[in-house]
Amino acid sequence: MIHFDNVNKRYPGGHEALINLSFHIPRGQMAFLTGHSGAGKSTLLKLIALIERPSRGNILLDGINLSQIKNSKIPYIRRNIGIIFQNHHLLYDRTVFDNVALPLIIAGYTHNEVGKRVRAALDQVGLLNKEKVAPITLSGGEQQRVGIARAIVHKPGLLLADEPTGNLDPELSREIMELFARFNQVGVTVLIASHDLDLIGQMQRPVISLKDGLLVHDDLAEMTSHG
């Protein structure tokens, strides 16, 4: 699903965020991306979401070479990715329902279908009774779950999460992770960047570790070589 091939990312000013990164995450896999802050986790996710472009190397997403995607085609790639941010990125001038509906509106779903899918997504994150509420009145964990509902409402093939539990207590974090695991069970590829090693340990999923832009550990590579 995600294929990195000798990827380098150098920011203007000379900072090397990622150095010669190669790995492969198969379809339907749930994996963690870990490392200290500044190790390059966010940069890696940004490259997949086409927020940044690599300085060198190729990234294949579901067989599509991202370096060949023109800027005008980026939106169509992003529509198949659900992105979850640490700080939720919700729109506070509209209701929970309208926030979650946004990807469907963009993709041009019918009015009835939007209603059905938004409620299904809110049901999955346990916020069905909050659809008419303004996001600002919700707790941090609930806001994060609205963000997750928005990321999965259009049933993307890939879910990216950047420190999704960064501001949550352990119990809530655990719930959020369980949620991701459930999506993974229905076939969604999930990649979660996190530095919460305790939580990652509990989840027992493959881990990719970065340090100063270098790949220092890759469970997935070991799995393939052993099996």
Partner 1 sequence: MAKFESSNQVARNSPVKAYFIHHIRTLISSLGFLTRNGLSTVMTMTVIAIALALPSGLYVFLTNISHVSVGWDNSAQISLFLKSDVTEKQAQQLVKKLNLYEDIKTVKLIHKDDALEEFQRISGFGEALESLGKNPLPHVIAAQPKIDPQRADKIQHLLKELRNLKEVDIAQLDLQWVKRLYSMLEIAHRGIWVISVLLALAVLLVVGNTIRLDIQNRRAEIEVTKLIGATNAFIRRPFLYSGLWYGLSGGVLAWILTSISIGLMENSVEQLASLYNSGFQLQGLYFNEAMTLIGFSCSLGLLGSWIAVSRHLHEIEPS
Q: Is 76 in the site for partner 1 (CB under 8 A)?
A: yes
Note whether 197 binds partner 1 by CB under 8 A: no
Residue listed under structure tokens 């999460």: 161
* Cα separation, 200 vs 192, whole angstroms: 10
Judged by CB under 8 A, does residue 126 bind partner 1?
no
> Cβ closer to partner 1: 63 or 227?
63
- Touching partner 1, residues 18-47 (CB under 8 A): 27
Q: Which is nearer to partner 1, 59 or 207 (CB)?
A: 59
Q: Which stretch binds partner 1 (CB under 8 A): 55-63, 138-146, 162-170, 176-184?
A: 55-63
Would you give the end-to-end CA distance of the chain in angstroms? 19
Closest C-alpha among 163, 164, 124 to residue 143: 164
Question: Would you give the binding string for partner 1 spanning residues 146-165, x where CB under 8 A is met?
Answer: ----x---xxxx--------
Q: Is 109 in the site for partner 1 (CB under 8 A)?
A: yes
Task: Identify the CA nearest to 45 among candidates 56, 61, 26.
Answer: 61
Q: Report if residue 63 touches partner 1, rule: CB under 8 A.
A: yes
Chain mean position to CA 108: 23
Residue 79 contacts residue 107 (beta carbons within 8 Å): yes
Total interface residues for partner 1 by CB under 8 A: 35
Nearest to 20 by CA among 35, 8, 33: 8
Element holding 160 (H helix, E strand):
strand 158-162
Nearer to partner 1, 94 or 217 (CB): 94
Give the HSE-up count for residue 30: Cα atoms under 13 Å, Cβ half-sphere: 17
**8 Å CB contact between 122 and 156:** no
Does position 79 bind partner 1 by CB under 8 A? Answer: yes
Minimum Å gap between C-beta 204 and partner 1 is 26
Chain Cα centroid distance, residue 67: 20
Measured from the CB atom, the residue of 113 and 178 that comes closer to partner 1 is 113
CB of 214 to partner 1, least distance (A): 23
Binding site residues, partner 1, CB under 8 A: 27, 49, 51, 61-64, 72, 75-81, 83, 89-91, 93, 102-103, 105-111, 113, 150, 154-157
